[in-house]
Chain A
């Protein structure tokens, strides 16, 4: 349970003269739910983009299961078991809800270059896709166009699609952003349900979500790690309180 599955060693990201992420060290231990929190503009999403190869790092290295993944493209990182969701629901709007999930399952077929075969050959994946939809409470929407889903359900669909890849490490970028309380509750339940056998790293704004859910918290501010530990530990940290509230005597 304790060896780190995902490690960032001194990663930095420079945009022209602005340092978005500055020498960040991160250790995500296998089986934990790890939260990355911090005020707006702290570099959380950039950090995610670096970890998943969506953006190249300026400095430092990233290790997955002790193996270097620095500089790999995001699709290569995904194939190694580190899969992310996006802050803005990222779905395939013209596909049905079922086909969104099926498309993720399809990747395991391999090259997917068979242009001469009917797409009905993909129907054998339908049952698994339907199973995942059921797990996330989306079963009744299976045949609906994904674009027509309500916002909260789109988030759930994105998580279902991510889960379809059966990733060892799941990176969730603000899974509850822009949601009402009811939807937040559902997403938290989903994360609890899916954590078995997986490691989750999530960016979260909503501290009440973090409090009950996450085993380990890393706090970022202005691109730097300012605190680490359990939620209770970091919540008492002077620097964290300052970063969140602006004044030391809040």
Chain B
């Protein structure tokens, strides 16, 4: 033990050295985060703010998804259920109960989490493809229920959701105020996401992704950790869906369909599964494709298909993942 003490002083062993961190970000990540802040600040001068806000809600959604796929090792094909049901409940409570946006957002988030607990409870004992298929089946059931129950407004969806005043004093009716509110929330979510991944809890999740059998043999209740991760992910997805409702004033069947479920996979694949900033970069790219190629109608899907194959075949780690390898730093 004496040799250890002297050794740590000569800093040959990086044992007691605390890494330099701000907001829980390492230096490389902080650079990335500040770049993102700059984009958020300059963005509305160059691009349509509503488009940017859509990107931000998808960043939150994609972070939620990456927590599960990239850091717990669980592949879900049913995340639209949480996103869409969050969107619906947020809209429904705002319209029918007259809830202020803060409470409507809370309702949508809780919806995602509760639904996540149910999905998780059913699916968590299976792994790999079986897990993915169970989540897919359950989300299709949710879609069908939404199609047939009056509360969603069927094909019309829930329209005219009032933006209201956040916490009673932030008037979201103004596009500028709304933009900055959503932007700050998104930045906070990215900070929170990084914190969760690099917490003792996140350490357990990453170990489970690495080697679930070994984690269990060391005494960790793997199923329980997976379930908690699933619930957090679903709650955050519900929150993203709720924010989307506030921004656009509508919740529709599209939100709960297969579309967001596949988009979120594509976003993470392009950005980088298992990276902190993959969801950010991926959301910008995928939603830009949709936005700027919108005039070409269905050809978007062809283009997205090509992008998907390109990344699967050549850029397996996604953009941020490849950059990570190049810089030899975790991003």
| B-facing residues in A111-132 (Cβ within 8 Å) | 112-123, 126-127, 130-131
Interface 9-residue window, one of A13-21, A75-83, A206-214, A224-232: A75-83
Interface of B is mostly: helix
Measured in the bound complex, the distance between the Cα atoms of B203 and A94 in whole Å is: 11
When the two chains form their complex, are residues B219 and A130 in contact, meaning their CB atoms are under 8 A apart? no
Contact with A165, one of B202, B213, B218 (Cβ below 8 angstroms) = B218
Contact with A103, one of B16, B207, B213, B232 (Cβ below 8 angstroms) = B207
Instruction: Report the interface size class on chain A.
Output: 35 or more
Interface 9-residue window, one of A27-35, A57-65, A85-93, A234-242: A85-93
Contact with A130, one of B13, B195, B203 (Cβ below 8 angstroms) = B13
Measured in the bound complex, the distance between the Cα atoms of B203 and A126 in whole Å is: 14
A to B contact number (C-beta, < 8 Å):
121
| A-facing residues in B1-47 (Cβ within 8 Å) | 1, 3-4, 8, 13-16, 18-19, 21, 24
Most buried by A among B16, B195, B202, B203: B203
Tally of contact residues, B, Cβ under 8 A: 37
Output the least CB separation between A122 and chain B (Å).
Answer: 6
Contact with A92, one of B15, B21, B200, B210 (Cβ below 8 angstroms) = B210
Give the chain A neighbours of B1 by CB distance below 8 A. 131
B199 close to chain A: CB less than 8 A: yes
Give the chain B neighbours of A127 by CB distance below 8 A. 4, 8, 15-16
7 A-B pairs (CB sep. < 8 Å): A76-B219, A91-B211, A95-B207, A106-B203, A123-B18, A161-B214, A165-B218
Q: Enumerate chain B interface residues (CB-CB to A < 8 A).
A: 1, 3-4, 8, 13-16, 18-19, 21, 24, 195-196, 198-204, 206-207, 210-211, 213-222, 228, 232
Q: Enumerate chain A interface residues (CB-CB to B < 8 A).
A: 52, 54, 73-76, 78-79, 83-84, 86, 90-95, 98-99, 103-104, 106-107, 109, 112-123, 126-127, 130-131, 134, 139, 142-143, 161-162, 165
